[in-house]
Structure 1
Amino acid sequence: MLKESIAIALRALLANKLRSILTMLGIIIGVGAVISMVSIGMGVRDKVQNSIASLGSNMLIVSPGAASSQGVRSASGSSITLSLEDAEYIKKMVQGIDYVAPAVSKQYQVIAGNQNWTTTVYGITPEYMAIKSLTVGSGSFVSQQDINSRNRVAVLGATVAENLFGELNPTGQNIRINNTPYQIIGILDSKGQSTMGQDQDDIVLVPLTTAQERLLGITYLNSISIQVTKLEGMDQAQEQITSLLRQRHKISGTKEDDFTVRNLTSIMAMMTETTGTITLFLGCIGAISLLVGGIGIMNIMMVSVTERTREIGIRKALGATYRDIMLQFLIESVVIGVLGGIFGIALGVSAAFAISTFGSLKTVLSAISILVPFGVSVAVGLFFGIYPARKAALLDPIEALRYE
Structure 2
Amino acid sequence: MKITRTFKLAIRSILSSKARSFLTMLGIIIGVAAVIIIVGLGNGMENYMVDNFKSMGTNILTVNVSGRSSNRSISVDDMYAAADGNPELFTSMSPTVNVMGTVKVGSEELEDTSVSGVSEDYREMKMFTMATGRFIKYADVLNRTRMCVIGSYISDEWFSGNALGQTIKINNDYFIITGVLDEIADSTEGSSDDCIFIPYTTAAKLTGTGTISSYSFAMVTEDKVKESKDALNAVLYKKFGSTDAYSLMSMSEMLDMMTSMIDIVVTVLTVIAGISLLVGGIGIMNIMLVSVSERTREIGIRKALGAQYGNILLQFVIEAGTTSAIGGVIGIAIGYMLSSLGSVVISRMMSADLVITPSMWSVLLAFGVSVGIGILFGYLPARKAARLNPIDALRYE
Give the TM-score taking structure 1 as reference length: 0.88
| 1:307-322 alignment, distance < 5 Å | 307-322=294-309
How many Å separate the matches in 2 of 1:116 and 1:198? 13
How many Å separate the matches in 2 of 1:335 and 1:256? 63
1:326 to 313, 328, 331: 313
Task: Using the aligned pairs only, state the percent identity.
Answer: 38
Deviation at 1:333, TM superposition (A): 0.7
How many Å separate the matches in 2 of 1:284 and 1:187? 48
Matched residue of 2:136: which SS? coil
Q: Is the 8 A contact 2:237 2:243 kept in 1?
A: no
| 1:243-258 alignment, distance < 5 Å | 243-247=234-238, 249=239, 251-252=240-241, 255-258=242-245
| Per-residue deviation, residues 328-361 of structure 1 (Å, max 9, x unmatched) | 1111111101110110001111111111111346
- Is 1:401 the counterpart of 2:394? The answer is yes
Aligned partner letter, 1:308: R
| 1:1-400 alignment, distance < 5 Å | 1-65=2-66, 81-94=73-86, 95-118=88-111, 119-165=113-159, 167-192=160-185, 199-213=191-205, 215-216=206-207, 218-247=209-238, 249=239, 251-252=240-241, 255-359=242-346, 360=350, 362-400=355-393
Aligned partner letter, 2:212: L
Matched residue of 1:108: which SS? coil
Deviation at 1:202, TM superposition (A): 2.8
How many Å separate the matches in 2 of 1:155 and 1:395? 84
Matched residue of 2:101: which SS? strand
How many Å separate the matches in 2 of 1:116 and 1:23? 59
| Per-residue deviation, residues 187-241 of structure 1 (Å, max 9, x unmatched) | 2234348xxx96323321112233334x345542131111211233211110110
RMSD of aligned alpha carbons: 2.4
Deviation at 1:111, TM superposition (A): 3.2
Which shows bigger deviation, 215-224 or 337-346? 215-224
How many Å separate the matches in 1 of 2:161 and 2:131? 13
Deviation at 1:163, TM superposition (A): 4.7
How many Å separate the matches in 2 of 1:347 and 1:107? 48
**Distance change in 2, residues 1:133/1:285 (3 Å):** farther
| Per-residue deviation, residues 283-339 of structure 1 (Å, max 9, x unmatched) | 112111111111010000010111111111111111111111111111111110111
**Distance change in 2, residues 1:51/1:168 (3 Å):** closer
How many Å separate the matches in 2 of 1:319 and 1:344? 39
Q: Is the 8 A contact 2:28 2:276 kept in 1?
A: yes
Deviation at 1:386, TM superposition (A): 0.9
What corresponds to 1:69 in structure 2? Answer: none
Q: Unpaired runs of 5+ in structure 1?
A: 67-72, 74-79
Matched residue of 2:335: which SS? helix
Q: Is the 8 A contact 1:57 1:227 kept in 2?
A: no
How many Å separate the matches in 1 of 2:169 and 2:14? 75
**Distance change in 2, residues 1:198/1:276 (3 Å):** farther
| Per-residue deviation, residues 81-113 of structure 1 (Å, max 9, x unmatched) | 553113211112224112211111212323333
What corresponds to 1:70 in structure 2? Answer: none
Which shows bigger deviation, 136-145 or 382-391? 136-145
Aligned partner letter, 1:201: D
